A and B are shown apart, each in its own frame.
Chain A
Amino acid sequence: MTAAQGDVRGRGGAGHVAREPEGVVSWLTTTDHKKVGVLYMVTAFLFFLVAGAFSILMRAELAAPGLQLMDLGTYNELFTMHGTAMIFFFATPMVVGLANYFVPLQLGAADVAFPRLNAFTYWLFLFSALIVFGGFFVAAGAAAFGWYGYPPLSTATYSPGLGADLWVMGLLLSGVASILGAVNLLATIFAMRAPGLTMFRLPLFTWNILVTSVLMLFTFPVIGAALAMLFIDRNLGGSFFTAEGDPLVYQHLFWFFGHPEVYIIALPFFGIVSEIVPVFSRKPLFGYKAFVFATVLIGAYSFSVWAHHMFTTGAIAALFFTITSFLIAIPTGVKFFGWIATMWRGRIWLATPMLHCLGMMGMFLIGGITGVFLASAPIDYALHDTYYVVAHMHYVLFGTGVFAMFAGVFYWFPKMTGRMLDERLGAIQFWLVFIGFNLTFFPMHQLGIDGMPRRVGDYLAATGWTDLNFVSTAGTAVIALGVVIFLYNFVTSLSHGPLAGDDPWGGHTLEWATSSPPPHHNFARLPPITSDRPVLDERLALGPRQGGEPIQPPASRSQEGRRRRG
């Protein structure tokens, strides 16, 4: 504590001495939000690799008609676990990890509100994920009823295996972790802001995390209830969702959670894009309040659209859900205009974070547009549960969860490690993933229009779906190559990347006011906060030519050796 008060020399207190124990034990017992954040992110990324490996197997099987690699049962397990893991064990915890690391920094705070609770939610998430994956190691295999586990199929009668129980219990516990994590983030944002940091000066990433936390707080209890009832049906003789009960109620409960979940994943990544675009356009964000308002509206609207996933049940108010779903397009469109207006007349620096943001905008634009098709009930009658939906959902989820995630990783890696990722490799990776992604998923629109249903491990050659499926599988290989390049870049840059300095990009928000990596207590001093971009303000106040440290382009490792910090 004395260090935090005493050391005001550098911008980040380079003289600070860490006092946590080193080594494995320090990770097992840590309550530092930065370390917990890193644990979250690394774990989530590992699950991304696992779920990605499942998708490679699925795509390999679908490259040609007939069953080449596996039987239908295995395929069913794979897509179930791919979807489950991507949503619950990759995208959601990745969001929580990023929030853990960067929300306190953006607030100018020393930690989250409840550091131990924070560590607890991480461990609970990790263990519950392992429980779900444990299904692969029991006799009957993993759960095989899709990531939304509709009863009666998911009841004991039709899915008697142990893997299904592990799936239910694991998701239930990870839901508890998510609720507690949301409480923690809410309390942090409400209670731990630096003096002068009013709500309307919060960085956009933090605003998006705030709305996300509210969505998590109110929707995870709903899926928790659904899973608990399913668990009772399966193990304790209940009949909430069996044919004597009402399986449709489960669908309502699931999607009351499931649709906001899409925004739990999307909003924080919108937030990341809204952070990066101004920095790399070298202009303040255009229309800050419009962004905030759009974020809040998306959050509120997302509670009232759930049954657009149930149009074909014929048992819901189709027009109501068509209208509410369309409404979401409006604030989403506003965000696009805001990003564009921020770039307009800027000086765009096309470094890897910005490149990935542009990729996200392009892909989410397509995903958003196809979403409008699916929101129209009559069109959904035709396209529901076809590959069109698989295409739509990946343009949305991959566009945000992967492209914007990489944008954030390239942007914040220097903050977390003090070193740069390699820009050239990053650009190559971007183009590989971008091309591979579109090769994989664009043809799926046409497959869906041609009537190919999702969740099938096989199809007949007579359907004429073979060529497009083959293209799609080839694209997956290209994505995989891009991801491998990222891994190489990541691992080598950790120890050999050029030194980054505290603020390599010329950031606007508080995380750039401390050293890289930040000391245990985060800040030695805070700049005065009179707007949503205190670091930029301070730099401007210092005059255009002496703006603190010079901002230099991060050199490619090949071009220039290690650069020392000034």
Chain B
Amino acid sequence: MAEEVRFFLRGLVYLVPITVVYWLVSKEPAGTALLVALVVGFVAVIGLVLLHASSAAAELRPRSGGIAGRLLGAVNRAIGFHERVDAPPPLEGGPDLIPTGSPWPLITAASIVVAGLGLIFGTWLLLPGLALLAWALLGWLTQLDRA
């Protein structure tokens, strides 16, 4: 499971320094803000994955050894290219039951489009769109338990 986390950590190895460099050479706020947001996004995804798979956190945690050894080990475990082939199956989940068809995705999409057009054409279209959307979401959610 840790390889999924390493994937994003490796991304950060490039993105964090480049964000700093970009700010230093350009002092340009819009792009810097976007890069910072990107870094935060990566961190958030890492957090999400760790939250779902505590085994990943355990795999990445520093182990014994001298300071330098632990540091190197930690870096290697964080971004190195190795993977336990006997790893337990990835994140628990996925449908073991395949849902049958459902009309709600289509209806929900249609209602969002009506509401979106309502933003252009006016409330006479926006309100029906929102009502339709509420109905569609209700239908979708109540169908879930019959999946």
Chain A residues with a Cβ under 8 A of chain B: 1, 19-21, 26, 28-32, 109-111, 113, 115-120, 122-124, 126-128, 131, 162, 165-166, 169, 172-173, 176, 187-188, 190-193, 195-196, 198-200, 210, 214, 217-218, 222, 231, 235, 248-249, 252-253, 256, 289, 293, 296-297, 299-301, 303-304, 306-307, 316-317, 319-320, 324, 520-521, 530
Q: Is the CB of B98 within 8 A of A173?
A: no
Chain B residues in 8 Å Cβ range of A200: 3, 81, 83
Contact of B120 among A20, A162, A253 (CB under 8 A): A162
Q: A231 and B25 in contact (CB under 8 A), knowing A191-B91, A252-B31, A256-B34?
A: no
Q: A231 and B119 in contact (CB under 8 A), knowing A111-B98, A116-B104?
A: yes
Q: Is the CB of A166 within 8 A of B94?
A: no
A120 to B106, CA, bound (A): 6
Q: Is the CB of A119 within 8 A of B11?
A: no
Residues 78-97 of B at the A interface (beta carbon under 8 Å): 81, 83-85, 87, 89-95, 97
Chain B residues in 8 Å Cβ range of A124: 109, 112-113
Shortest beta-carbon distance from B100 to chain A in Å: 7
Chain A residues in 8 Å Cβ range of B112: 124, 173, 176
Contact with A along B107-141 (1 / 0, CB 8 A): 01110110011011000000000000000000010
Chain A residues in 8 Å Cβ range of B15: 300, 303-304
Q: A191 and B120 in contact (CB under 8 A), knowing A116-B102, A200-B83?
A: no
A124 to B104, CA, bound (A): 12
A519 to B53, CA, bound (A): 31
Q: Is the CB of A116 within 8 A of B38?
A: no
Contact with A along B9-51 (1 / 0, CB 8 A): 0110011001001100110101100110010011000000100
- Output the nearest chain B residue to A123 by Cβ-Cβ distance: B109
Q: A123 and B30 in contact (CB under 8 A), knowing A21-B101, A173-B116, A235-B120?
A: no
Chain A residues in 8 Å Cβ range of B92: 191
B105 within 8 A of A: yes
Q: Is the CB of A110 within 8 A of B98?
A: yes
Chain B residues with a Cβ under 8 A of chain A: 3-4, 7-8, 10-11, 14-15, 18, 21-22, 25-26, 28, 30-31, 34-35, 38, 41-42, 49, 81, 83-85, 87, 89-95, 97-106, 108-110, 112-113, 116-117, 119-120, 140
Q: Is the CB of B104 within 8 A of A166?
A: no
- Output the nearest chain B residue to A169 by Cβ-Cβ distance: B116
Chain A residues in 8 Å Cβ range of B7: 199, 210, 296
A178 to B13, CA, bound (A): 26
Q: Is the CB of B26 within 8 A of A166?
A: no
A253 to B14, CA, bound (A): 20
Chain B residues in 8 Å Cβ range of A26: 101
Chain A residues in 8 Å Cβ range of B84: 198
Task: Classify the secondary structure of A's interface with B.
Answer: helix
A124 to B14, CA, bound (A): 34
A158 to B112, CA, bound (A): 28
Chain B residues in 8 Å Cβ range of A116: 99, 102, 104-105, 140
Q: A296 and B35 in contact (CB under 8 A), knowing A20-B100, A173-B112, A173-B116?
A: no
Q: Is the CB of B81 within 8 A of A199?
A: no
How many cross-chain pairs have Cβ atoms below 8 Å apart between A and B? 166
A299 to B7, CA, bound (A): 11
Chain A residues in 8 Å Cβ range of B117: 131, 169
- Output the nearest chain A residue to B136 by Cβ-Cβ distance: A120
Other 17 A-B pairs with CB < 8 A, given A289-B81, A304-B22, A307-B31: A31-B105, A110-B95, A119-B106, A120-B105, A120-B106, A169-B116, A190-B49, A190-B90, A198-B83, A198-B87, A200-B81, A218-B41, A304-B14, A304-B15, A304-B18, A306-B31, A317-B28
Q: Is the CB of A317 within 8 A of B100?
A: no
Q: Is the CB of B98 within 8 A of A165?
A: no
Q: A316 and B34 in contact (CB under 8 A), knowing A116-B140, A123-B110, A218-B41?
A: no
A187 to B53, CA, bound (A): 13
Q: Is the CB of B25 within 8 A of A199?
A: no
A159 to B87, CA, bound (A): 57
Between A28, A172, A530, the greatest number of chain B beta carbons within 10 A of the residue's beta carbon is seen for: A28
Chain B residues in 8 Å Cβ range of A303: 15, 18, 35, 38
Contact of B108 among A120, A249, A317 (CB under 8 A): A120
- Output the nearest chain B residue to A246 by Cβ-Cβ distance: B30
Q: Is the CB of A169 within 8 A of B119?
A: yes
Shortest beta-carbon distance from B53 to chain A in Å: 9
A182 to B108, CA, bound (A): 19
Chain B residues in 8 Å Cβ range of A235: 119-120
Chain B residues in 8 Å Cβ range of A299: 11
Q: A191 and B110 in contact (CB under 8 A), knowing A116-B102, A169-B119?
A: no
Q: Is the CB of B101 within 8 A of A31?
A: yes
- Output the nearest chain B residue to A29 by Cβ-Cβ distance: B101
A110 to B113, CA, bound (A): 30
Between A1, A28, A172, A199, the greatest number of chain B beta carbons within 10 A of the residue's beta carbon is seen for: A199
Contact of B89 among A169, A187, A195 (CB under 8 A): A195
Chosen A-B contacts, 26 in total, with CB atoms closer than 8 Å, are A28-B106, A29-B103, A29-B106, A31-B101, A110-B95, A110-B98, A111-B95, A116-B102, A119-B102, A119-B106, A128-B113, A169-B117, A173-B112, A190-B90, A191-B92, A193-B89, A199-B3, A199-B4, A235-B119, A248-B30, A299-B11, A304-B14, A304-B18, A304-B35, A319-B25, A520-B98
